[in-house]
Amino acid sequence: MPKTYDFLVAGGSIAGLTFASEAARRGASVLVAEEHDEIGEPEKCDGLVSLRGLTKYGYPPAPDVIQNKITSAVIHSPSDRHFAVNASSLDVVVLDRSAFDKQVAATAVSNGAEVRTGSRVGRLVQRKDRVEAKAGDADVEARYLVDATGPASSPRHGILPAAKYELEGSWVREHVVEVFLDAAKYPGFFAWVIPFGRHRAKVGAAGYGVSPFRALDDFLQGRECSVLRKVSAPIYVGGPSPRFVEPGRILVGESAGQVKPTTAGGIMTSVAAGVIASKWASQSVQKGDPALLDRYQKEWERTFLKEMRTMLRLRGIFEKLSNPDLETVFSAMATPRLIMKLSQTDFDFHASALLGALGMSGLLRVAKVIASAEVRSLLMEP
Ligand SMILES: Cc1cc2nc3c(=O)[nH]c(=O)nc-3n(C[C@H](O)[C@H](O)[C@H](O)COP(=O)(O)OP(=O)(O)OC[C@H]3O[C@@H](n4cnc5c(N)ncnc54)[C@H](O)[C@@H]3O)c2cc1C
């Protein structure tokens, strides 16, 4: 007879590992099964995140996991006009994402979770009171499957092809993140430069229907560099799923769509999901009360749903803008007052912060450029 775990976590990345760590700390029996042979590998994420958010949820990165601190963000328009936002008080850092996942895996193990690598979860059978699955070659039983498999399970809409190079180039500005807008080259997204050391950066591009490596090669024309590593991985911008809990199954992280629809950043929101879900799932198992599981979705949504909806509306507007529209919106937004306000905002709640900084007059200026339903809904926001 196989051992029955409280939770079988499919996916040993940030959402699954935080869930496992917290559930084990609360006394639950947890098995994490990760299909790859090494936690954190292959690394796809750029690791740009706010320390504030991770610290709030009890998972601050160890000092040696932090590769860089960001002091400024420069936004470029299609015609390469630009403005810079001072980010020195926003606590934004670049993580070695693979090392961060290993850090959380070590905490999970020291809290009592089992972590198996090279172990893909497949062939799932749902019984009345448990799930039966294959994890690698082993038969596993658990009360719940925690689906932390990332984009493999996230909703199909809102997935964009993306790629990044890690490179060395003398033009990389050590503490400055750069975002390049161009609706023709990166429809629905942008190109980015995230420095992770002196003259080293993670440089990426994404967009609907683009060939991201071709877009990156075009971007790098005239920027001399040597490429250290190439990664291709989709990003998800479609917003949270309507249901995080299904019979016998709890979804956390990107598989529940818990990713910012503006930037596709999902580290902090996934950590939050792991922590919140494990709290209610552990209580649910200990008290034998399945209804407690619903509190996970309620608590996560109480913190993030309004912001995610605002981000989705901003995305709806952004996706409609042509390059001339982008130039006009850029002019309307690049005012000293707005730039100053943005430098004092919360990185994790940047959509609300942007709206607050724009104010009614700024929104009206944007509305002159695009009279869309999305702008009207933002104007009516309480
Ligand atoms: C190019 C790129 C850059 C990014 N940059 C940033 C950034 O700078 N900042 C930020 O906040 N976010 C960023 N993100 C998003 C961030 O990486 C994700 O939102 C986050 O990693 C989601 O965590 P997760 O644990 O839900 O899923 P994932 O990190 O996707 O992990 C899913 C895990 O499940 C495993 N798995 C899948 N199927 C199975 C199975 N059947 N059995 C066992 N294991 C399985 C996978 O191997 C993987 O380890 C980026 C994403 C991409 C693609």
Tokens of 111: 């809290």
281 Cα–ligand 1 center, Å: 22
356 Cα–ligand 1 center, Å: 31
What per-residue confidence (pLDDT) applies to 382? 54
215 Cα–ligand 1 center, Å: 22
229 Cα–ligand 1 center, Å: 18
Is pLDDT at 276 greater than 80 in this prediction?
Answer: yes
What per-residue confidence (pLDDT) applies to 236? 95
pLDDT digit string, tens, across residues 341-361: 888 888 888 777 777 777 767
Exposure letters 353-377 (e unless 16+ CB within 10 A, then b): bbbebbeeebbebbbebbebebbee
Tokens of 194: 């995230």
* Burial status of residue 91 (CB atoms within 10 A of its CB: 0-12, 13-18, 19 or more): middle
Are 143 and 5 within 8 A, CB to CB?
Answer: yes
Average pLDDT estimate for 266-270: 97
- The answer for residues whose C-beta is within 8 angstroms of residue 301's C-beta and 6 or more apart is 240
pLDDT above 70 covers a percentage of the chain that reads: 93
Exposure letters 220-234 (e unless 16+ CB within 10 A, then b): beeeebeeeeebebb
| Phi, psi (degrees; rounded to nearest 5) at 347 | -55, -35
Average pLDDT estimate for 91-120: 98
pLDDT digit string, tens, across residues 39-56: 999 999 999 999 999 999
Is pLDDT at 370 greater than 80 in this prediction?
Answer: no
CA 92 distance to own-chain centroid: 14
**Cβ of 14 less than 6 Å from ligand 1:** yes
- Alpha-carbon Rg for the chain, nearest whole angstrom, is 21
Average pLDDT estimate for 156-181: 94
Please, what are the domains in the chain?
4-61+97-155+238-305 (3.50.50.60), 65-94+159-236 (3.30.9.10), 308-379 (no CATH)
Out of 22, 90, 254, 300, mutate this one to test ligand 1's pocket (max ligand atoms within 8 Å of CB): namely 254
pLDDT above 90 covers a percentage of the chain that reads: 77
| Phi, psi (degrees; rounded to nearest 5) at 165 | -115, 140
Average pLDDT estimate for 66-81: 96
Are 2 and 141 within 8 A, CB to CB?
Answer: yes
**Cβ of 261 less than 6 Å from ligand 1:** no
What per-residue confidence (pLDDT) applies to 338? 80
Is pLDDT at 375 greater than 90 in this prediction?
Answer: no
Residue among 169, 231, 223, 233 nearest 197 (CA): 169
What per-residue confidence (pLDDT) applies to 197? 92
Average pLDDT estimate for 188-201: 97
What per-residue confidence (pLDDT) applies to 312? 92
Kindly report the protein residue whose alpha carbon is nearest to atom 35 of ligand 1: 11
CB atoms within 10 A of CB 2: 12
Report the C-alpha gap between 379 and 65 in whole angstroms. Answer: 41
Are 352 and 57 within 8 A, CB to CB?
Answer: no
Is pLDDT at 223 greater than 90 in this prediction?
Answer: yes
**Cβ of 307 less than 6 Å from ligand 1:** no
The pTM of this model reads 0.94
What per-residue confidence (pLDDT) applies to 369? 66
pLDDT digit string, tens, across residues 277-308: 999 999 999 999 999 999 999 999 999 999 99
Tokens of 192: 């980015």
Residue among 71, 65, 58 nearest 25 (CA): 58
Are 81 and 115 within 8 A, CB to CB?
Answer: no
**Cβ of 12 less than 6 Å from ligand 1:** yes
Report the C-alpha gap between 342 and 333 in whole angstroms. Answer: 11
Report the C-alpha gap between 249 and 264 in whole angstroms. Answer: 24
Give the N- to C-terminal CA distance of the chain in Å, as an integer.
57
**Cβ of 148 less than 6 Å from ligand 1:** yes
Question: What torsion, rounded to 10 degrees, do the Cα atoms 54, 212, 72, 239 define?
Answer: -40
Residue among 379, 245, 381, 234 nearest 301 (CA): 245
Out of 34, 123, 149, mutate this one to test ligand 1's pocket (max ligand atoms within 8 Å of CB): namely 149
**Cβ of 13 less than 6 Å from ligand 1:** yes
Report the C-alpha gap between 139 and 133 in whole angstroms. Answer: 6
DSSP 47-67: -EEEHHHHHHTT-PPPGGGEE
Is pLDDT at 373 greater than 70 in this prediction?
Answer: no
145 Cα–ligand 1 center, Å: 18
